[in-house]
Structures are given as C-alpha cells and as structure tokens.
Structure 1
Amino acid sequence: MDMSVTRLPESRAYRELEISRVHSEIRSIVQDCVAEEVPVALEFNGIAHAVMMATPADLEDFAYGFAITECIVNTASEIHDCEWTSNAQGCTVSLTIAGPCFARLKEKRRNLTGRTGCGLCGTESLAQVIRPLEPLTSTLCFDTKAVLRAAANLRAHQLLLTVTGATHAAAWCTADGNIELIREDVGRHNALDKLVGALLRSSLDAGSGFVIITSRASYEMVQKTATAGIALLVAVSGVTGLAVDVAQSAGLTLLGFARGTDFSIYSVPHRLSLDAS
C-alpha cells in the first residue's frame, strides 16, 4: 500500500485531555485526544461571507475548496491571495479574488453561519439549494478492483481519526485505486472542501481520478464532487434520494455502501467496469 500520502495530524487539529475512563466498572485516569472544532470565518476581498464550524487544519485548502464548490470562483487562478489568522474566538481565512467573481458574489451574498457541516443555514431561496451543474463529460471507465482497493486502504490513512475517533475523511484516488490525497475534518462537507482545495493547489488532474468519502453521500457531496470535475463518488455509507437525482442529472457515477467486496451503484453505472471484479 502506498503510504506516501499519509501525514501526521496538525497539532491544532486536536487537543490532549486528562479524562476518567470506565472499563468493566473500573475507573482510571488516562490521557485522551479530542478533535478540535472552532468557528472558521471566510472573507472575500475583506467582506465576511460565511462562518463554518470546522477542524482548524488545512485551512487554505478549505478556503480554496469552498470557493470552488460554492461557485464563488470558477478556477484557482481567480484566487489571488489566501491567508489565515487565529485568536481566542476562532480562525479567519481571507481570500482575495478576481473582481468579476467578487461582483458576482455580492449579488448572491448569504450568511452560512451554522452547526458542524451545515450546508443550508442562511440559504435565501429554494433555487439556491439545487443549483444547475454542468454535465460531466468524462469518458473514463473505472476498474471495480481499483475502487475496492481504495476503500480497503482508506482507514489506514485516517490518522486524525485514529487519534481522536471523531472525524470524517475525503480522499482522492488515482484511476488504479491509489490514495494520493486525503483530508479530515469534524464535518463531512468540510473534509470534501479541503480535499477539493488541496487538488486545486496541487499538480494533480482531479478529473483523472475519483473521490471516496467516509460519510453518507448527500446531495451537497454530489454537487461539490461534480463541481470539481470528478465523475465518480464512492461513499462508505449510504446515499440520499436527492443525491441520486443530482448525480444522475450531472452524469456522475455514485456508489454507496462500499465495504469489503460489496457496493451499490446508484447512478451512471456504465462508468464502472464490473467484469474486472
């Protein structure tokens, strides 16, 4: 297994505590680690836009991914600068974006302040919920064995989960099933945004591989994946009906319950090579 992607979790992503643990009715004092969850404010050209509860690690990736998956910018080149600061209240990530993007943002400004991974808080209209997606034109066909290999290896790359037991992960895999990038967060949407941002800031071709997530696949996860130009989304857990509808309309192949040698295909099955399994 290729472990080059594996990184030690950033120290600010978790905290060590002294706690009481009870096992078989016997209490003992032990050291434990808990995942951090703080308000992360996103500012564009000096204007506050959103506050999300997130793990305070990989914040530049988070900001880039959020900007793309929320259609604030269309390409990474439209982000001119990104920096973050922290204080006792939380973290602030400030992005400078191209003028036309900022003008568009001001027209549809909304406040997304909400709970962990909340994707709807502050949405102003029903039309903003299910936004139209450009149909994916990928002609790739993915090998079943590659998908299952990635699913089997995913847990070994989740170092923050190993430390805290409290985080989701999103990973980008090559077509042959090697995990090249992974990001973790207390929020499943945040983990995927961080992954998309990391892809944008890397030399990898996002559309040449696929994404696997540890959570359920809701419609927002499908939207974010399709917006990033990725044609296959694999969920370890289940999917929602709306996620299936959005995936079908976008031409995205959606898999759920990818565990062991099993999985379910919910949309666009032709992109998966079943005869190789």
Structure 2
Amino acid sequence: MNAPMAGEYAALATVAVHRWNGASGHSQYDDVAEEVPVALEYNGIAHAVMLASPTDLEDFALGFSLSEGIIADRSELYDCDVMPGPDGIRVALRIAAARLAALKDRRRNLTGRTGCGLCGTESLQHAVRIPPMVSSSACFSAAELEAAFRQMESMQRLQHRTGATHAAAWLGPGAAIEHVREDVGRHNALDKLLGALASRRADFSRGAVLVTSRASYEMVQKAATLGIGMLAAVSAPTALAVRLAETAGISLAGFVRRQGHVVYAHGHRITQP
C-alpha cells in the first residue's frame, strides 16, 4: 500500500487487492479514499476533530465555521493555517474575539461528525437550531435540476477513482454547476462547498445545493443558516429535515434521478413541465 509520509496527505492511496468475478479472480491495484483526522482550533482552543478527506481544508474550515454559526460572515475569520502532522491535520483558525466568547459559551464537543450531525451535543437545547426564514429568488425547472445532477456526477473525480466519497455542488443562476467539493463525509462535502462559495462571495440566495446523499436535518440546517433556498438530494430526506425545510422556507427535493424527483417542501422554486 502506498501510504502518505508523515505530515503529508493525499486524497487517495493505492492498495493491492484480489478482485473476484464469480469463480475467477486476479490480483491488481485499486485506489481507495483517504480518511484523516482533522482538528479545528479557534484562537488556540480545540473545538472539533473530524474524519475527512484531506483536500480543500481551508474551504472546509470556513464553511464549517459559517454553517455552525461560529462566525456570521467570512470577514470574522482573520486567519486559517492548515498544518499536517504525523497523527492528522491541525487547522488553526483565528476569529473575532466576540465570536470566540460566544463559542466558549456553547461548550460543544463535535467529535466524529462524518456519521452523526449531533454527536457530542451537550443538551437538547443545542440539538436543533432553528435558523431564520430564508428569502431566495432561486428557481429552476425540473429538467435543469435533473441535468445538473448528471453534470455533477461527471465532475466527481475522487468518487470515480475510489467509489467512496460524497459530493456537494452549487447550481448557479445560469442553471450550470459552478462548484463541486468531495469528501468521505457528506457533512464535510457540504461545508467545503459552502466555504468555497463564501470565499468567492457568492450570492447564496440565487442558487441551489445538490448533494449525493440523503437530506438529513443538518444538511437542511446548514443550507438555511447561509440563506440558501433550495436543497436537492439524490436520496431521501428525514422527517425532521422536511419539518425544518417547511419552517425555514427551503425548497427540498429528494430522489432526484433521471426523469424524476420528489418535492417535500416549498415546491414553488421548481417548475414542472
């Protein structure tokens, strides 16, 4: 197996495998996705350790900070240093003092967020954050939405090599995919996308987020926190996600496949044939 050297991390590794097809088999090499501990520190204080793909980590740090409400605007993130080490990657962020004080008050430990959106949350009060009502001018036809998923699929380079990653994509007002981010964790892929958009000062109210996963509560919450009016998923939403989408004014679609989709909330932003 070709593993990264200490302090160096690639998006994938090559391993020796024995591939079987019925009764016949042969030896070959296969690409597998890397999964690396990534520690987020705010002003020198450890906040969360995530298992993530070691790519686009500046985008990830900014997107996570925004979608979790740690900062309200990219201008409140003063600095971001990505520092690989033998045990993982440390991302040191420097944020506004007022935001750090609010973060200390929350006292949240979010270890292991690739699998569960609420792992480590200390109380029921912190478990479900209700974002403000979204105001969005985004509107796409059903055909544009389904074509966008096909376009996103063609842009998932890491998934094509490994078969082990999720993707999140931004469908811009021109009905074309403008950005795609990939990660072994679906939450991480979304945060990377949100960070990439925020760093480019994108208008969140004019596009839609597409994800290659189920639409969980937290995916809807992250979109709503940044004022995104449409979330479309290749799989199903949860009931809590549907209720949050209704409350926050988000158009939520699931099972977006070739020639079909299911609208769960606020379908007025998706025009039908």
Q: TM-score, normalised by structure 1?
A: 0.93
Rounded to whole Å, the distance in 2 between the matches of 1:256 and 1:13 is: 29
SS of 1:101's equivalent? helix
Work out whether residues 245 and 252 of structure 2, in 8 Å CA contact, stay in contact via their aligned partners in 1: yes
Work out whether residues 230 and 251 of structure 2, in 8 Å CA contact, stay in contact via their aligned partners in 1: yes
C-alpha displacement of 1:200: 0.7
Residue matched to 2:94: 96
- Structure 1 residue aligned with 2:134, among 136, 144, 159? 136
Residue matched to 2:222: 224
- Structure 2 residue aligned with 1:264, among 248, 262, 265? 262
Q: One-letter code of the match for 1:68?
A: L
Question: What is the total number of aligned residue pairs between the two structures?
Answer: 266
Residue matched to 1:78: 76
1:29 aligns with 2:27: yes
Gaps of 5+ in 2: 1-7
Work out whether residues 40 and 49 of structure 2, in 8 Å CA contact, stay in contact via their aligned partners in 1: yes
Structural mapping, 1:42-81, within 5 Å: 42-81=40-79
SS of 2:150's equivalent? helix
C-alpha displacement of 1:115: 5.9
Percent identity for Structure 1 against Structure 2: 50
C-alpha displacement of 1:203: 4.0
Work out whether residues 143 and 176 of structure 1, in 8 Å CA contact, stay in contact via their aligned partners in 2: no
Q: One-letter code of the match for 1:41?
A: A
Rounded to whole Å, the distance in 1 between the matches of 2:158 and 2:226 is: 24
Rounded to whole Å, the distance in 1 between the matches of 2:179 and 2:9 is: 19
Rounded to whole Å, the distance in 1 between the matches of 2:174 and 2:9 is: 32
Structural mapping, 1:123-202, within 5 Å: 123-202=121-200
Residue matched to 2:4: none
Work out whether residues 138 and 208 of structure 2, in 8 Å CA contact, stay in contact via their aligned partners in 1: no
Residue matched to 1:5: none
C-alpha displacement of 1:68: 0.5
Moved over 6 A (4+): none
C-alpha displacement of 1:109: 1.9
Gaps of 5+ in 1: 1-9
Rounded to whole Å, the distance in 2 between the matches of 1:175 and 1:272 is: 13
1:213 aligns with 2:211: yes
Deviates more, 1:112-121 or 1:29-38: 112-121
Rounded to whole Å, the distance in 2 between the matches of 1:44 and 1:240 is: 32
SS of 1:92's equivalent? strand
Rounded to whole Å, the distance in 1 between the matches of 2:255 and 2:138 is: 22
C-alpha displacement of 1:204: 2.6
Distance change >3 Å, CA 195–CA 42, structure 1 → 2: same
SS of 1:237's equivalent? coil
Residue matched to 2:3: none
Q: C-alpha root-mean-square deviation of aligned residues, in Å?
A: 1.4
C-alpha displacement of 1:253: 0.3
Rounded to whole Å, the distance in 1 between the matches of 2:16 and 2:63 is: 35
Superposed CA offset, 1:7-37 (max 9, x none): xxx9711111122112232221111110011
SS of 1:18's equivalent? strand
Rounded to whole Å, the distance in 2 between the matches of 1:38 and 1:240 is: 28
